[in-house]
Amino acid sequence: MNRLGRGASRWASAYGAGPWHLLGLAACFVVAGYAATRMVGAGIWMGFAVWFVGAVVFHDLVLWPLYSAADTAIRSLSRLPSRLGRARPAVVNHVRVPAGLSCLLLLVWFPLILRGAERNYRGAVGLSTSPYLARWLVITLVLFGVSGLLYAVRRWAGGRSDR
Amino acid sequence: MESRRAGRLRAGNGPPGPFRPGFWRSPLRGPWLTSVFGLVLLVGLAIVAVTGLLSYAAYEPRLPGNDTTPGKGLLGFYLFDWPTHPAWLYRVTQGTHVILGLTLVPVLLAKLWSVIPKLFAWPPVRSIAQAVDRASLVLLVGGAGFQFATGILNIQLFYVFPFSFYPAHLYGAWIFLAALAVHVAVRLPRAIRAVRSRDLRRELRTRLADTRPEPPDPDGLVPADPAPPTMSRRGVLAFVGGGSVLMFGLSVGQTLDGPLRRTALLAPHGREYGTGPNDFQVNKTAASLGVTAAEAGDGWRLAVAGASPIHLSRADLLAMPLHTYALPIACVEGWSTEQVWTGVRLADLARLAGVPPGAAEVTARSLQRVGYFGQASLSAGQVADPRSLLALRVNGADLSLDHGFPARIIVPNAPGVHNTKWVRELEFRREGR
């Protein structure tokens, strides 16, 4: 019993976690490795590897720098008016939220909105992708419109409660 | 024998920028928020995974010519005979796979945002266990991004990836699921503890002015030097949830019939063609697959191969007993629509070919010259179902060329691509030959 306990603690200090941790991760790598051999068999492993590496870094090294820079810009711009005059409800989220949602829709549907898929799409579906840009713009306008309206209501309500 | 520099780095003063704990300042990052996103993803992705694996079974890949991933090996261990009842099952499972996947995009992005400081944790590795764990996270993050990206691009017919969608999305799924399973096993207890550490109802009542960072955590998600909050925790949840509602609301219409279909403003296959009997979603036009009106015209004959081969004109088929059923057509790309089809039972054609229905499989071959699924095989169970038709009419009118004139297959609960259009040959044979 004692020796077992000593063995376990020696293992834990050398490895950094219990043996089940290594067992689970080994199983993960075995399954993933097997699936990877299927990719090799299908002759697509090189394209797959490139896209997979791209997928690993896409959010952290491409999307995040873009949206955090945009967010910094929105925050610094929306801080300006509050320096003038008396306190108003913060405007930042009334820009940030509709802009973020609109960018989300563009991120997912850009092949339709920007017509990148036009050739395949027209051939298959028999219609053009041209309506999607207008739809996205209208949805974006509605998002900003609703957000602006909510801001107006908040300001009005805030002004009333000040009195 | 440690250099002074290494000692300094180990003490949390890594390289400058994102490797320093002070770089990350969002006061909302913390184990509670990450765990809320994680648990939503866990439930959602489990459903997306199961419906995706079911879709592969629905393709009946064990029948001749049906398997788009013949090198699957052990990964086909769970395959089973795909049923024809209920007729709407594939419509629901595949609609769920695609629409739920789209709905989870904002949650996945929020989850990745919430843990980004850990990518830059310094030192990068503290133990062997952590090194192995981080290697599995590469598979987890890469797998998630790969599966979402290929799925989202594929439903928009934006084939920019240098591989066929089917093997990449199926094998990629197993890489992702392996990493997800072990991630859940390792993190779930911690995630449940973190979610219980705060009362959700209280968070939903907490305004921006009262929003405080979570208490410091050993994983370093909570910033050492938090900035003043510009959004409450309930605000972030509403933002992410609003993104999901938007993704769902603008795409779910492509799985519905009736006036709600018009809500599919940002979905590839919720289009309006008009009000006629043939004015419903086209997946592949005749022109795109090289099918001409001439070869589908009066000279067209259906070759029925079997024990007693026979050729039939469209008039011959129309003279046979015709049956009418309302059946959905449901595409792997997630869209679906129910229409009223009229045609000859496949079982009657099997009998005509001298193969008793119940034991008869069929391979349907199309006039199409290019593209995938120019032929598809149907199981004995699918042929025997009385609602499985070689359809000649839809909604009371002759099929249009784009919907498969002169004749197309329609089978209850089969994936759309197995409803072969412009059928030129039906090869019946006894099951298992």
Q: Within this chain, do residues B24 and B122 fall inside the same structural domain, yes or no?
A: yes
* B113 contacts on A by Cβ (under 8 Å): 59, 64
Residues B227 and B328 in one domain: no
Which value, to the nearest 10 degrees, does the dihedral of the CA atoms of residues B232, B234, B238, B239 take?
30
Picking from A15, A51, A97, the nearest residue to B146 by CB comes out as: A51
Angle formed by the axes of helices A64-83 and B89-119, nearest 10°: 70
Residues B245 and B310 in one domain: no
Residue of chain A whose alpha carbon sits nearest to that of B134: A25
**CA-nearest residue of chain A to B184?**
A24
Looking at the fold, whether B242 and B301 belong to one and the same domain comes out as no
Q: Are residues B295 and B420 in the same domain?
A: yes
- Please check whether residues B133 and B84 belong to one and the same domain: yes
Has residue B272 been placed in a domain?
no
Q: Do B175 and A32 touch (CB under 8 A)?
A: yes
**Total of domains in chain B:** 2
Which residue of B71, B181, B239 is in closest CB contact with A97?
Answer: B239
Domain co-membership, B9 together with B129? yes
Tokens of B399: 């099929």
* Any B CB within 8 A of A41 CB: yes
- The answer to whether A54 faces chain B, any CB pair under 8 Å, is yes
Tokens representing B279?
A: 């004015």
CB contact under 8 A, B182 and A25: yes
- Residue B360 in contact with residue B280, Cβ under 8 Å? no
Q: Cα distance from B75 to chain A (closest Cα, Å)?
A: 8
Label residue B14 left, alpha or beta by phi (over 0 means left) and psi (-120 to 50 means alpha). beta
User: By residue range, what is the domain housing residue B142?
Assistant: 4-249
Please give the angle made by the CA atoms of B244, B246 and B248, to the nearest 5 degrees.
Answer: 70
* Residue B358 belongs to some domain of the structure: yes
For residue A64, give the nearest of B116, B175, B287 by CB distance: B116
Task: Show residues of chain B in contact with A63, CB under 8 Å.
Answer: 109
A100 vs B contacts (CB less than 8 Å): 239, 243
**CB within 8 Å: A38 and B75:** yes
Chain A environment of B185 (Cβ under 8 Å): 24
The CATH number of whichever domain residue B354 belongs to comes to: 3.90.420.10
User: The dihedral of CA B126, B131, B133, B137: what is its sign?
Assistant: positive
- Provide the ipTM: 0.94
Q: Per the structure block, which two tokens stand in for A7?
A: 């063995």
- Note whether A55 contacts B145, CB cutoff 8 Å: yes
Rounded distance, CA A93 to CA A151, Å? 9
Q: Where are the domains of chain A?
A: 1-43, 59-162
Q: Are residues B126 and B174 in the same domain?
A: yes
- The whole-angstrom distance between B72's CA and the closest CA on chain A is 6
Instruction: Determine, yes or no, domain membership for B274.
Output: no
The answer to whether the beta carbons of residues A161 and A154 sit under 8 Å apart is no
Residue B153: CB partners within 8 Å, gap ≥ 6?
A111, B159, B160, B161
**Distance, CA of A155 to CA of A88 (rounded, Å):** 7
Interchain pair A44, B69: CB under 8 A: no
Inter-chain touch B164–A42, beta carbons under 8 Å: yes
- Provide, for chain A, the percentages of residues in helix, strand and coil under a 3-state DSSP scheme, each rounded to the nearest 5: 85, 0, 15
Query: Cβ(B337)–Cβ(B281) under 8 Å?
Result: yes
CA distances from B380 to B299, B320, B327, B385, B387 (A): 30, 21, 19, 9, 13
CB B304 within 8 A of CB B320: no
Beta strands in A41-129 (DSSP E): none
Handedness of CA B69, B71, B77, B80 (dihedral sign): positive
Taking CB atoms and an 8 Å cutoff, what residues of chain A touch B157?
111, 117, 120-121, 124-125
Do the domain assignments include residue B273?
no
Q: Residue B158 is nearest to which of A116, A126, A136, comparing CB atoms?
A: A116
Please give the structure tokens belonging to residue B196. 């219980």
Query: Is there a contact between B265 and A135 if contact means CB atoms under 8 Å apart?
Result: yes
Same domain, B210 and B336: no
Nearest to B38 by CA among B104, B126, B92, B134: B104
Q: Are B374 and B320 in contact (CB under 8 A)?
A: no
Q: Specify if B138 maps to a domain.
A: yes
Of B192, B222, B249, the position where a domain reaches its end is B249
Q: What is the pLDDT of residue A131?
A: 97
> pLDDT in tens for each of the 433 residues of chain B?
344 444 444 445 678 889 988 899 999 999 999 999 999 999 999 999 999 999 999 999 999 999 999 999 999 999 999 999 999 999 999 999 999 999 999 999 999 999 999 999 888 999 999 999 999 999 999 999 999 999 999 999 999 999 999 999 999 999 999 999 999 999 999 999 999 999 999 999 999 999 999 999 988 899 999 999 999 999 999 999 999 999 999 999 999 999 999 999 999 999 999 999 999 999 999 999 999 999 999 999 999 999 999 999 999 999 999 999 999 999 999 999 999 999 999 999 999 999 999 999 999 999 998 888 899 999 999 999 999 999 999 999 999 999 999 999 999 999 999 999 999 999 999 987 5
**Token digits of residue A21:** 């941790």
